[in-house]
């Protein structure tokens, strides 16, 4: 099942805190969520994140993560993100409320993907992860090449491109 990007980001924040990772900056979090989404597409052919992934100058970006955590600048994120959700309860005083989304505890596949990505990339800093997303053959690079380079901003990186490129990067036959 696909979740909001904030829910997946919150899983990384919780696990990074537990592992003592102290450099979970907005950029690093952005790249970790991207890789978890990409690995899910390769492993299960299903998206982990239901948000669109855009090609921005520093690689793939999910806008909800960018806007939720940009206030942290280049500092460590330790608190979970929130989302504004409609409250359909007839007894609700307000129609909308802030919630802290999460991946359900019984979704073992999604939790294991987050664990594997954190194990694989958690010791790398944001710049190193950004550089990985810029490599020739990466989903970001492929979309940039298709659109002639330049200054990206609103180019969507399709899930199929993410799946195909990540599959090749991980050494799987496609």
Place of tokens 């690093």: 28
Taking Cα atoms as reference points, which of 39, 33, 69, 71 lies closest to residue 51? 33
Which pTM was predicted? Answer: 0.93
Q: What is the mean pLDDT of residues 9-35?
A: 97
Query: Which parts of 5-103 are beta strand (E)?
Result: 54-56, 59-61, 83-86, 96-99
Strands 83-86 and 96-99: antiparallel
Place of tokens 């450099």: 23
At 124-171, the pLDDT tens digits run 999 999 999 999 999 999 999 988 766 666 799 999 999 999 999 999
Backbone conformation region of residue 102, classed left if phi is above 0, alpha if psi is from -120 to 50, else beta: beta
Rounded to the nearest 10°, the torsion over CA 94, 100, 103, 106 is -70
At 29-67, the pLDDT tens digits run 999 999 999 999 999 999 999 999 999 988 999 999 999
Find out whether 36 and 117 touch, Cβ atoms under 8 Å: yes
The helix (H) or strand (E) run that includes residue 155 is strand 155-156
In sequence order, the 6+-apart residues with CB closer than 8 A to the CB of 28 are 124, 125, 126, 129
């Amino acid at each position: 099942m696909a979740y909001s990007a904030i829910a997946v980001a919150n899983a990384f924040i919780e696990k990074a805190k537990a592992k003592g990772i102290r450099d979970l900056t907005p950029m690093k979090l952005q790249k970790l969520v991207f890789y978890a989404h990409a690995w899910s597409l390769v492993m299960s052919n299903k998206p982990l994140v239901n948000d669109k992934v855009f090609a921005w100058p520093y690689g793939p970006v999910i806008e909800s993560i960018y806007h939720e955590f940009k206030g942290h600048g280049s500092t460590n994120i330790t608190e979970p993100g929130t989302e504004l959700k409609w409250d359909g309860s007839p007894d609700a005083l307000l129609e909308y409320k802030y919630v802290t989304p999460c991946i359900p505890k019984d979704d073992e596949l999604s939790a294991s993907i987050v664990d594997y990505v954190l194990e694989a990339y958690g010791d790398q800093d944001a710049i190193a992860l950004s550089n990985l997303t810029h490599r020739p053959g990466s989903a970001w690079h492929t979309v940039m090449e298709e659109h002639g380079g330049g200054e990206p901003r609103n180019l969507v990186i399709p899930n199929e491109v993410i799946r195909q490129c990540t599959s090749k990067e991980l050494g799987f036959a496609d």
